[in-house]
Amino acid sequence: MGLFLLVVAVPSVFLAATTLRVATAFTLGERGGLTELQRALSLDPANPEIHRRLGLVECYLSDPPDLSEGVKQLRQATELAPLRPLYWSDLGSACEASGDRVCADQAFAKVLSLNPMMPRSHWVVGNYYLRANQPDQAMAEFRQLLELNPEGDYAQRIFELGLRAVDDPEVIFEQVLAAQKGPERKLEFVNYLSLHDRADDAYRAWTRTVANATPFPLSLAQPYLDRLFTLRRYQDMLGAWRDLERLCVIKTPVEDHPANLVFNGGFEQAPLNTGFDWHSQEASFVFFDFSDPDAHQGERCLRLEFTVKRNDIFQPVYQVVPVAPRQEYILTAYTRSANITSDSGPRLRLFDPAHPENLDVSSETTVGTTPWHPVSLTFRTGEDMHFLLLSIWRPRGRSFPTEITGTFWVDDISLKPSGSAAQTKAPRG
C-alpha cells in the first residue's frame, strides 16, 4: 500500500512542480521587462511566446536595442511554432530593421503562405513592400486584399499609403482597382481624391470608372456630386451628371421639355438634392413640400410655408442650371400665394455663382393672396457665363409689414433661349 502511494505521489509532485514553473514563467512573461522575460525563459525555454516577447523587447525596447539577439529570439519562436503567422511577421519586421532583406523577404512570404485568405496578411506584406521600395508588389498585395475583403475598411488606408508612396492616382487605379468587378471601390477612390484636393485626378478616375460601368445606386455617386457642387466645379459635375443619365442612374422626368434647361421644373418627381436637381436647406421657420397636390399642371408642385414671422433673406430651394454664354433667355413659372403678409414676397432669382456682380436678376414678387399666375423675366448671359444658380428667393422687406408669413406655391419652372435664339442649343444637365 505504501509503495502504491509513493508511485502515485511522485508523478503528482512532478506535475505540480511543472505546473508551478510554467505558471511562474507565464507571470514573469506577462510583466514584459527584459529581466522578467529572461527569467521566464529559463523556467520555460520551450515556450514560443516568451521567445517572441523577449525578441520584441531586445529589438525595440532595450536601451540600446540588441537587434541580433532580438532576431535570434524571434527566429526561435518561429521554430517552436512554425504555423503562427504573427511570429513570422514579427521576425520579418526585425530582420527588416536589422537590414537583412533576405530574411525579411522570406519571413513575409511565409506570412502569406500560412494565411493567404486573410486580408490582414496582405495588408502587412503590402506595407512591407512599400517600405522596401517595391510599390508594384505592394499594389498587388493591396489588390488581393480588396478582392478578399470587398466590404472591409482597408480601402481608405490603402489610398492614403499608396498615394504617399507613388503620388500617382493612375497607378493606384490601374494596379489596385481596375480589376474590381463593381464600381464601389473605384467610386470610393474618386471621393477620396476629391476630398483631398485632387479634383482633376478625381474626375479622371470618375471617367474611367463609368466608361463601361453598369447601373449602380445614386448613393455611390452622390458624395462626389456634392463635393463638386461645394467646389463649384460645375463643368465636372455636368460631365458626371450626363454619365449618370447615360447609365440610367438618373432619370429625367418625362414631363421635362427637351428645350427646358431646368431639371424637374414641374416637381413631378422627388428632388434628388444633388447635382443638377433641386437642392434644399432645412430651416425652422420655413416649411417646404415638393409633393403638394394643388399643382398648376401635373400632380405635384412646390409649396413653401413661412411659419414664423421673420424678416430674413430666404433661399431654401435652388439648383444649378447650365447655360450658353452671350445668349438671351426667358425664365417663366407659375406661382400663387395665400396670406403673404410682407411687401417682399418669394420670387425666382438667377445669378452667376462665380461672379454675382455680372448677373443677378429676379422675377416679380408674389404677395397677399393670389391665384395661379405666370411670372417671368428675360436676361442675357455674359461673355464667359456657363452656369447660373436658380433659386426660390425672398429678400428682406424694407417697408411695413417687413416680416413675412403665409404660403407660396410654384410650378412649371422653365428656362429657355428666347426669341430667335430659341434654336440655339445650350448645354443640358
SS in 3 state form for 327-346? CEEEEEEEEEEEEECCCCCC
| CATH no. for 12-246 | 1.25.40.10
Residue 216 pLDDT > 60, yes or no?
A: yes
Residues of the chain with CATH 2.60.120.260: 279-423
Confidence of residue 1 (pLDDT cuts 50, 70, 90): low
What local confidence, expressed as pLDDT, does residue 396 receive?
Answer: 85
Residues of the chain with CATH 1.25.40.10: 12-246
- Bridge partner residues of 379 (DSSP): 329
Confidence of residue 10 (pLDDT cuts 50, 70, 90): very low
What local confidence, expressed as pLDDT, does residue 418 receive?
Answer: 87
* Choice among 3-7, 142-146, 232-236, 417-421 with the minimum mean pLDDT: 3-7
What local confidence, expressed as pLDDT, does residue 196 receive?
Answer: 97
Q: What confidence tens digit (pLDDT) does each residue in 19-49 have?
A: 333 343 344 445 468 888 989 888 899 999 9
Amino acid at 129: Y
What local confidence, expressed as pLDDT, does residue 68 receive?
Answer: 95
Q: What confidence tens digit (pLDDT) does each residue in 50-64 have?
A: 999 999 999 999 889
What value does the mean pLDDT take over residues 318-341? 96
Model's pTM, two decimal places? 0.84
Confidence of residue 7 (pLDDT cuts 50, 70, 90): very low
Q: What confidence tens digit (pLDDT) does each residue in 132-191 have?
A: 999 999 999 999 999 999 888 899 999 999 999 999 999 999 999 999 889 999 999 999
What value does the mean pLDDT take over residues 331-335? 97
Between CA 405 and CA 179 the distance in angstroms is 57
Residue 282 pLDDT > 90, yes or no?
A: no
Q: Which CATH number fits domain 279-423: 2.60.120.260, 2.60.120.1570, 3.30.160.60, 1.10.10.10?
A: 2.60.120.260
What value does the mean pLDDT take over residues 391-397? 90
Length, in residues, of the chain: 429
What local confidence, expressed as pLDDT, does residue 334 receive?
Answer: 98
What local confidence, expressed as pLDDT, does residue 420 receive?
Answer: 44
What value does the mean pLDDT take over residues 377-381? 96
Q: Distance of alpha carbon 96 from its chain centroid, rounded?
A: 35
- Mean pLDDT, the chain, as a whole number? 89
Q: What confidence tens digit (pLDDT) does each residue in 231-258 have?
A: 999 999 999 999 999 999 999 887 778 8
